[in-house]
């Protein structure tokens, strides 16, 4: 009688992150930080938005996925041509990439109902640097809704960017404003900044984040 042997019983996997060629940070810790803090909602950042990643986050109540992506840039070693690894991060905040990522998140939300939004980080920086108009950015908003009109379009707004002229015409391209304080010394103004934000984006839900700073690299942050 033939004995059936399963690969699961005898197979081996070389498991772990290599440094040769193209690699990304592992998504197999996705959602664990949120759960460790006892929370049920997360903004999924830095990793590719894939069905595998969404499976890791399926148990959370709500997930919004970043569409302003950072990629690993291949850096070649002069002594070992062809053996480079992405040792440097580069920001791909182009409109084409945002639209692509927004459509992808909208599509994923159909299979993963807890994916409720697409999250555009450092938004005004790109608007200012690339002279993006509200009409041009509206294409991203349309892409967020492409496959699921219920998908929410989140945008990061820093308190030092709260000037009406910065956002004139963009008010209707966002569903949710994610308000950040860049420098911790300005936290005492949070109530005032929330009111300024609501005046610029009337009727828009606002998710306030107390502070975004890196004390070692930004002397003003304590």
Tell me: pLDDT of 87 over 80. Answer: no
Q: What pLDDT is attached to residue 216? A: 42
pLDDT digits 0-9 by tens, 149-176: 999 999 999 999 999 999 999 999 999 9
Give the phi and the psi of residue 78 in degrees, each rounded to 5.
-60, -25
Tell me: pLDDT of 79 over 60. Answer: yes
Domain 22-209 has CATH 2.40.50.140: no
Sign for the pseudo-dihedral over CA of 14, 16, 19, 21: positive
Lowest mean pLDDT among 90-104, 137-151, 178-192, 203-217: 203-217
* Residues 220, 185 contacting (CB under 8 angstroms): yes
pTM of the model: 0.81
pLDDT digits 0-9 by tens, 131-156: 999 999 999 999 999 999 999 999 99
Torsion region of 39: left, alpha or beta (phi above 0 gives left; psi -120 to 50 gives alpha): beta
Percent of the chain scoring above 90 in pLDDT: 53
- Report domain extents, the chain: 22-209
User: What Rg value do the Cα atoms of the chain yield, rounded?
Assistant: 21
């Amino acid at each position: 009688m033939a004995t059936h042997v399963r690969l699961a019983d005898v197979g081996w996997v070389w498991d772990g992150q290599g440094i040769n060629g193209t690699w990304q940070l592992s998504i197999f810790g996705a959602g664990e930080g949120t759960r460790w803090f006892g929370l049920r909602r997360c903004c999924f950042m830095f990793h590719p938005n894939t069905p595998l990643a969404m499976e890791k986050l399926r148990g959370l109540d709500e997930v919004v996925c970043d569409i302003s992506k950072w990629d690993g840039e291949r850096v070649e070693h002069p002594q070992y041509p062809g053996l480079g690894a992405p040792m440097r991060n580069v920001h791909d905040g182009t409109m084409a990439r945002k639209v692509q990522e927004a459509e992808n998140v909208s599509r994923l939300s159909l299979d993963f109902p807890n994916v409720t939004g697409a999250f555009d980080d450092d938004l005004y920086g790109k608007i200012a640097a690339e002279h993006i108009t509200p009409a041009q950015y509206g294409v991203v908003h349309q892409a967020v809704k492409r496959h699921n009109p219920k998908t929410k379009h989140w945008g990061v707004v820093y308190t030092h960017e709260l000037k009406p002229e910065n956002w004139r015409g963009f008010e209707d391209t966002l569903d949710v404003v994610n308000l950040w304080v860049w420098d911790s010394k300005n936290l005492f103004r949070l109530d005032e900044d929330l009111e300024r934000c609501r005046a610029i984006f009337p009727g828009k839900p606002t998710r306030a984040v107390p502070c975004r700073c890196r004390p070692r690299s930004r002397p003003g942050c304590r």
